[in-house]
Structure 1
Amino acid sequence: MPVQHSTQRHRWRMLPKTLCRMSTEIPVSLNLEFVFARDIAVFLFVDSHLLRKLLWLCSLTCFLDSQSDSSMATSDLVTSMRHLVLKYFNASPRDYKCIFTSGATAALKLVGECFPWSGDSCYMYTMENHNSVLGIREYALSKGATVSAVDIEEVVDPSKNQGCDSLFKISKRSNQRRGDDVLLHNYQNGSLTAISGKHLKGNNLNLFAFPSECNFSGHKFNLSLVKLIKEGKFIGTSQQQGRWMVLIDAAKGCTTEPPNLTVYPADFVVCSFYKIFGYPTGLGALIVKNEAAGLLNKTYFSGGTVAASIADIDYVQKRKSIENVLEDGTISFLSISSLRYGFKIIDMLTISAIARHTASLATYVRRKMMDLKHSNEKNVCIIYGQQASKVKDLKMGPTITFNLKREDCTWFGYREVEKLACLSGIHLRTGCFCNPGACAKYLGLSHSDLVSNFEAGHVCWDDNDIINGRPTGAVRISFGYMSTYEDAEEFLKFLQSSFVSKAVGLNNGYMVNMDTLHLVDDWSQQATSDIRLKSITIYPVKSCQGFSVQGWPLTTGGLKYDREWLLQGSGGEILTQKKVPELSSIRTLIDLELGKLFLESPKRKDKLQISVLENLTHISAEVDVYGQRYEVQTYGDKVNSWFSDAIGRPCTFMRCTSSKHRSCTINGRRDRLCRDTRSKLSFVNEGQLLLVSEESISDLNSRLSSGNVNGKQQMFVDAMRFRPNIVVSGSASYDEDNWKRLNIGKAYFTRHTRH
């Protein structure tokens, strides 16, 4: 029932009290200080779920391909789970079958492999689709089919008296086809409205794919598309002939609003149970219409899929059951058995209550985010999706995707946001979320932008969040049935304290914005008498521990030997602490007099010693590190084996010997080099030296402690967590952001920032 929070006017639709009871059953081993605001997929399983599962595992279960009592009982249980899945989608067992897979991606792959593609077929999909849906086009293109990506716009038809009927407009992108230059006719005027008309005759089969909810923006697609497409009302007289079938990717949408297949009879629907319940992982399903299942062509056969086969001649008879034909090998019946406990939770809460609860949270947070402004009245949050359509009653899922701006309208990088969120115990998802079409659409990235970003070194899951002054991805939060109002408030406090600028008061009583401080151009204008150099730290091996010194030689490339070595994985990837936390346990030290690099690891009893003198007898190679090309020196098996033992995975130790100088992006420009062209570039990210101030770190800790509620343990961030080369003190917090030049002794430094 709706209740009013004591400090808010917003009215909340709360879940049944069972949610409060369930929240007390979260396993005690979990760190409850973390706010789970990352994704629908991070639903917390509860103790009662796991205990019931554990008790069932203590009973006798058996391999399905047997006639024993235990095997038959297990088979009956799997059958009942299929019926529960179909019930969740309101799909009659007379019309649909449930095929268990290893996940939603495996279900999509199965459709692509078995669909009867031909040279006359067309695979059409919406731009806002997951990579796993886009990947189906490889099967279509390999069979000579035509592939088309489309944008769908739902608009209110002003000619209708009631004002509620809708038309769908399709803006079609260029066709994709391999092997020849045959293209389909273009749509008239580049778009096509839903019109009445007879379906053209044709024996070829076509497939249209769209998500029930976009995993990037949370935009919910109108499921009326299913009938319109299947009835051929998008197909004009000069358009693609044949029969259209529909695939719905419900991996995101079914967590709060599963497609009703009685009302919207799609041919194929895929889902992931981890995203619904939080457990088990590695289990999904393909819901397939019986009529569509009969059209699928499966080439491979395996144990359990055949009625009979002969080893030495081409003879095989497949089973008649579509489940047996499409499910290769032994299905994960132990994981499948746990679905009954997940569905019991859904039945207790009801899916309608879950939808209302998550929608209320998302709507509240979205509105609060849109109200956030800097001291100069500039917006802090740029939210994607909620204004992308002209439909007045456009429904959004419980997802908010956004980027953040500074008061000077430059962007905060999404990795910067993610790192600060981690310090506050908040889980976020960043990047493009494996949805390149939606990412490009909402961020305004053209084909040339995407290609140039890749050529600049940007790939999925890297730290290149800003290129040419523009974001390459975004930040996403989502709400599930375990999300609470307190979670929402904690996230909003994090945004307010970490990213919203406030007016700065001066001693003479005037109030100025941070923009005013950017006018300080000359170091001589700053009060420098109280600023002191507190520490110097060298990090010889990228992502390993550093060591502090009282003094250290400088070169044109920065501190001598700083970040001059790194580790490369067996697949060619650069290993960092984000990917390999064990790197943080490796201690380093350089003795300049001995000319030795010393390394220690708790995983190795022996210390490793490496000469820092360049040895031209070592093997030379080239490696790409975040878009920068380096010439490197590699080491022998003994050194590589030491590091492999230290981090628990195969790796190669290498040293930078030279680099091909790149132009870097400073304030969105590419008209200067990152470093002196005479310098030997090390493996630093961009700046030769990283500086932080003790006052800024102190202010950050104050913000973190002020956000603590309910007696939670106070969080504390040490300056060394940022892996700085130089730590200073004596200035006001964040003053270093405005310094243009810095001199230490006879050394002069120019500030470089990345926007």
Structure 2
Amino acid sequence: MAGGMAQREVELLAFERFRGSSEQPLAYGYGPRSLRELRAREFGRLAGTVYLDHAGATLFPQTQLTSFTHDLMENVYGNPHSQNISSKLTHDTVEQVRYRILAHFHTSPDDYSVIFTAGCTAALKLVAEVFPWVSPGPESSGSLFCYLTDSHTSVVGMRTVAAAMNITSVSVSPEDMWLAEKQGAAARNPDCQLPHLFCYPAQSNFSGTRYPLSWIREVQSGQACPVSVPGQWFVLLDAACYVSTSPLDLSVHQADFIPLSFYKIFGFPTGLGALLVHNRMSPLLRKTYFGGGTAASYLVGEDFYIPRQSVADRFEDGTISFLDVIALKHGFDALERLTGGMENIKQHTFTLAQYTYTALSSLQYPNGAPVVRIYRDSEFSSPEVQGPIINFNVLDDKGNIVGYSQVEKMASLYNIQVRTGCFCNTGACQRHLGISSEMVKKHLQAGHVCGDDVDLIDGQPTGSVRISFGYMSTLEDAQAFLKFIVATRLRPPSSQPVPQATPKEAGATPAESEAQNTLPTTLDRRSPSPREDTPTASGVGNDLLTAVHLRPRLPEATRTLQTPSEKAAAVPDGDLGPHVITNLFLYPIKSCAAFEVTKWPVGRHGLLYDRSWMVVNHNGICLSQKQEPRLCLIQPFIDLQQRIMVIKAKGMEPIEVPLEENGERAQICQSKVCTDRVNTYDCGEKVSSWLSKCLGRPCQLIKQSSDFERNAKRKHSKGQSADTTATLSLVNEAQYLLINRSSILKLQQQLTASDENGKEELFPMKDLILRFRANIITNGTSAFEEEKWDEISIGSLNFQVLGPCHRCQMICIDQQTGQRNQDVFQKLSESRERKVNFGVYLMHMSLDLSCPRFLSVGSWVLPVLKENAECQDLPASEKHQNVISEDFLLA
């Protein structure tokens, strides 16, 4: 960072001063209703969390859920297609909800019909399928499908349905529409009734820009024609983002189609949307498929089908999600009771967005450079032109963009949840970020796809960061976000742990609070001696007992877990001495503490039993330190001779788990690791209870099935044949992770604080090593030299280097205390040009397990440089692959 920043104190814009300087009255909160009390009562689960992704999905209040549950417990709701009493109750309730929806949008069944769908996307797809398109012919140029470039993917995707009917699609930029609006009506043939469809969002889900609702009437009447062609224009208003925080009056702005997703408004239920169709469109819509409930009459033996009369009955194929529809009634009730209505929500959320925008846009580095670049079409002057969304990228003091994935990772350390990427809106992303269509294709060739964390390519951003406010958002949320930007950009690392919510603050149960106190701030991190024995299923023979020196067995009554020397390699920290392995770690339970060894057998997935187990929650979802940092305080030990894993945690009695499953009793289950399906088995109720008590939440221990193969996705840069494809345990990316002590030493020096008393070592070498959770630690090369390697040899074992490890927030967790500290991530991001890479992935080039193979501390490491890497005075022996005999390795 720029010099002098440590002396500068950045003051945030005071909210009261901001309100006082506004030219118009600003509304915050909901009158006499206390927003603080509302948050505590209805959204207690948010304590300690700043949720700023309401444009993605807002949150449901507690009373909505309890009221809905009470309704279901008190009433019997049957299938609405039946004729019994419970079915009649369902039918009438659903119809009442339809009226409630229309009333919410200031219209009635006289003008609009409500068709329930699976969401906004399903509603858009339905319009594409039923719109009365006219294909080109001898006497007609055919219909046009026209959409604003600032449209959601689901709108753009309608063109594929249109294309199947030979309909031409045209995209129109906002600038073209604003120009058409100014120019007024174009010459057209009033007798031509050729139907065309124009789609645009009421609010951009990218930037929050609110496009004029007046466009509806102007396009329908021809006053602002997006494309000058003869015919009749119909308008689809994508209102999903807009109506989450603003009222929509359909008595004034009568669009022909309005698709919705209700979770955007209420947070619950998800998977339910609606298409509001103006009744003037009903006679024009065409349907090819019919499903249960849509037919008035049909025959199975001939092409005879008569649809039901009402629009809803014709287009709601099958039984609708009627219980979710009933839940909407309770959503409307809660929303109105808590806020007083959508107008209040519009004013409240805009005030928060305007304040945050004003404060954020004023932040500067000491050299005057802006801290962020905000992507906008308005000056945030009023809620008529701007929704409660701020889209931006963070800059460094030289004006370079900091990748959005790094910002998101850092935000999570402050318990701030944002959205990053292009937000399913490529058109707006291209327009605001200056990304050409050729660049999009180039980014795809470089491996970037929507939704990944490839945030910079050739220094150019592939996306941005978005924050958005909801009706329960508070000033404290906005200020916490602003303080996060200031703390990470305008102040040096503080070396203080990131504040975390206590169980009481987070609304934890007494049991959870007690479990929090069960785990200590430190653990006895001693490792047992690796008394190697290997089950046949491991792929390593049982002669391993004779190949490895065994420590003497102790009597059962006195046997304890023993500790290998921490200085087994006898290599000073940072000393560029022999190029050897200095430490070996395996992590038997994914995300739990490391098990350090001096010598360990190699299996087909990597170090034997590395990440063979993982902890899952009550839904079978893998737990990591990102969600549960206290996992690092759970210490597994492997005893190969007894074929058991011992798990320890302070305050808990140790528990033993067999290394292999009992085929007769194992309960097979499936889970996922990095989107990969894995076959596992449950390790039993006893260890499940132990972990649940330890962590204060229901969880289980599962192990990857020995007969299940999972192939690595990451390939070597030169490609790899089928017979060398790496098979993985429960690791995320690769079989091994290697880090270099010289790289750690360089980072340690950057983190060392200086003051008038000299330098203070804030992060000991051992602490930093553990944070990076590598398998192999090496010594004897310059910092980050490992990223230039193509292959390495360790004795008779050969490995391909697959590339760098892209780091996440887990490196900020002190592995001996479970406390978070953002300094490591931030410093690494700064020093590595905003890409948080550290360490390299390895895979076996070939592996013959017919005889035992081991990795040992003290073994020589011989790298082969990439063809285009600079040798930088490496010894000749390190420029070529060398193989040292196994006898020399074991010596």
Q: Could you state the TM-score of these two structures normalised by the residue count of structure 2?
A: 0.60
| Unmatched runs of 5 consecutive residues or more in structure 2 | 1-12, 21-25, 136-141, 495-571, 601-605, 614-620, 641-657, 661-679, 685-701, 737-784, 793-798, 840-857, 870-891
Q: How far apart are residue 194 of structure 1 and its match? A: 2.9
Q: How far apart are residue 693 of structure 1 and its match? A: 14
Q: Please say if 1:375 is aligned against 2:488.
A: no
Q: Please say if 1:195 is aligned against 2:185.
A: yes
Q: Please say if 1:276 is aligned against 2:265.
A: yes
* Number of the residue aligned with 1:16: 31
d(CA) in 2 for partners of 1:457, 1:740? 17
Any idea what the Cα deviations from partners look like across 1:421-465, whole Å, max 9, x if unmatched? 112111111111111111111111001110111111111221211
Evaluate the alpha carbon distance shift between residue 580 and residue 460 of structure 1 in structure 2; reply closer, same or farther with a 3 A threshold. Answer: farther
d(CA) in 2 for partners of 1:675, 1:224? 59
Q: How many residues align?
A: 618
The amino acid of 2:820's aligned partner reads V
Q: How far apart are residue 408 of structure 1 and its match? A: 2.7
Evaluate the alpha carbon distance shift between residue 393 and residue 427 of structure 1 in structure 2; reply closer, same or farther with a 3 A threshold. Answer: closer
* Number of the residue aligned with 1:80: 96
* Number of the residue aligned with 1:67: 83
Determine if contact 2:80/2:88 at 8 Å carries over to the other structure: yes
Determine if contact 1:624/1:630 at 8 Å carries over to the other structure: no
The amino acid of 1:675's aligned partner reads K
* 1:215-614 → structure 2 map (5 Å cutoff): 215-235=205-225, 239-348=228-337, 349-386=340-377, 395-501=385-491, 547=594, 603-604=682-683
Q: Please say if 1:131 is aligned against 2:144.
A: no
* Number of the residue aligned with 1:662: none
Q: How far apart are residue 198 of structure 1 and its match? A: 4.5
The amino acid of 1:241's aligned partner reads P
Q: Please say if 1:675 is aligned against 2:788.
A: yes
d(CA) in 2 for partners of 1:205, 1:54? 46
Q: How far apart are residue 117 of structure 1 and its match? A: 2.0
The amino acid of 2:415's aligned partner reads G
Determine if contact 2:132/2:284 at 8 Å carries over to the other structure: yes
Evaluate the alpha carbon distance shift between residue 69 and residue 561 of structure 1 in structure 2; reply closer, same or farther with a 3 A threshold. Answer: closer
1:717 to 806, 809, 820: 820
Any idea what the Cα deviations from partners look like across 1:561-584, whole Å, max 9, x if unmatched? 8999999xxxxxxx9989999999
Q: SS of the residue aligned with 2:174?
A: strand
Evaluate the alpha carbon distance shift between residue 88 and residue 655 of structure 1 in structure 2; reply closer, same or farther with a 3 A threshold. Answer: same
Q: How far apart are residue 396 of structure 1 and its match? A: 0.9
d(CA) in 2 for partners of 1:59, 1:142? 46
Determine if contact 2:58/2:266 at 8 Å carries over to the other structure: yes
d(CA) in 2 for partners of 1:484, 1:443? 30
Any idea what the Cα deviations from partners look like across 1:46-68, whole Å, max 9, x if unmatched? 22222221121031112111222
Q: SS of the residue aligned with 2:801?
A: coil
Determine if contact 1:26/1:47 at 8 Å carries over to the other structure: yes
Evaluate the alpha carbon distance shift between residue 446 and residue 543 of structure 1 in structure 2; reply closer, same or farther with a 3 A threshold. Answer: farther
The amino acid of 1:262's aligned partner reads S
Any idea what the Cα deviations from partners look like across 1:198-223, whole Å, max 9, x if unmatched? 45433421110000000011010011
Q: SS of the residue aligned with 1:169?
A: helix
The amino acid of 1:261's aligned partner reads L
d(CA) in 1 for partners of 2:388, 2:313? 36
d(CA) in 2 for partners of 1:470, 1:740? 18
Any idea what the Cα deviations from partners look like across 1:642-663, whole Å, max 9, x if unmatched? x6xx79xxx9x9869xxxxxxx
Q: Please say if 1:169 is aligned against 2:188.
A: no
* Number of the residue aligned with 2:691: none
Any idea what the Cα deviations from partners look like across 1:288-312, whole Å, max 9, x if unmatched? 0111122111111111100111111
Determine if contact 1:623/1:629 at 8 Å carries over to the other structure: no
Evaluate the alpha carbon distance shift between residue 581 and residue 196 of structure 1 in structure 2; reply closer, same or farther with a 3 A threshold. Answer: same
Look at both structures and tell me which one has the larger radius of gyration over its CA atoms.
2
Q: Please say if 1:100 is aligned against 2:116.
A: yes
Q: How far apart are residue 367 of structure 1 and its match? A: 0.9
d(CA) in 2 for partners of 1:719, 1:552? 33
Q: Please say if 1:153 is aligned against 2:155.
A: no
The amino acid of 2:86's aligned partner reads S
Q: How far apart are residue 377 of structure 1 and its match? A: 2.0
d(CA) in 2 for partners of 1:691, 1:264? 47
The amino acid of 2:304's aligned partner reads Y
Q: How far apart are residue 92 of structure 1 and its match? A: 2.8
Evaluate the alpha carbon distance shift between residue 691 and residue 624 of structure 1 in structure 2; reply closer, same or farther with a 3 A threshold. Answer: closer
Q: How far apart are residue 634 of structure 1 and its match? A: 7.1
d(CA) in 2 for partners of 1:91, 1:626? 60
2:107 to 91, 104, 108: 91
Determine if contact 1:565/1:654 at 8 Å carries over to the other structure: no
Q: How far apart are residue 77 of structure 1 and its match? A: 1.3
Evaluate the alpha carbon distance shift between residue 36 and residue 581 of structure 1 in structure 2; reply closer, same or farther with a 3 A threshold. Answer: closer
Evaluate the alpha carbon distance shift between residue 676 and residue 50 of structure 1 in structure 2; reply closer, same or farther with a 3 A threshold. Answer: closer
Q: How far apart are residue 419 of structure 1 and its match? A: 1.3
d(CA) in 2 for partners of 1:72, 1:446? 56
The amino acid of 2:164's aligned partner reads S
* Number of the residue aligned with 1:118: 134
Q: How far apart are residue 242 of structure 1 and its match? A: 1.8
Q: SS of the residue aligned with 1:396?
A: coil
Q: How far apart are residue 347 of structure 1 and its match? A: 3.0
d(CA) in 2 for partners of 1:51, 1:608? 39
* Number of the residue aligned with 1:32: 47
d(CA) in 2 for partners of 1:459, 1:223? 33
d(CA) in 1 for partners of 2:250, 2:259? 12
Determine if contact 2:197/2:233 at 8 Å carries over to the other structure: yes
Q: How far apart are residue 610 of structure 1 and its match? A: 9.5
Q: What is the root-mean-square deviation of aligned Cα atoms in Å?
A: 5.2
Q: Could you state the TM-score of these two structures normalised by the residue count of structure 1?
A: 0.69
d(CA) in 2 for partners of 1:26, 1:532? 57
Determine if contact 2:586/2:611 at 8 Å carries over to the other structure: no
d(CA) in 1 for partners of 2:122, 2:378? 33
Q: SS of the residue aligned with 1:264?
A: coil
Evaluate the alpha carbon distance shift between residue 715 and residue 228 of structure 1 in structure 2; reply closer, same or farther with a 3 A threshold. Answer: farther
Q: SS of the residue aligned with 1:682?
A: strand
Determine if contact 1:566/1:655 at 8 Å carries over to the other structure: no
Calculate percent identity across the aligned residue pairs: 31
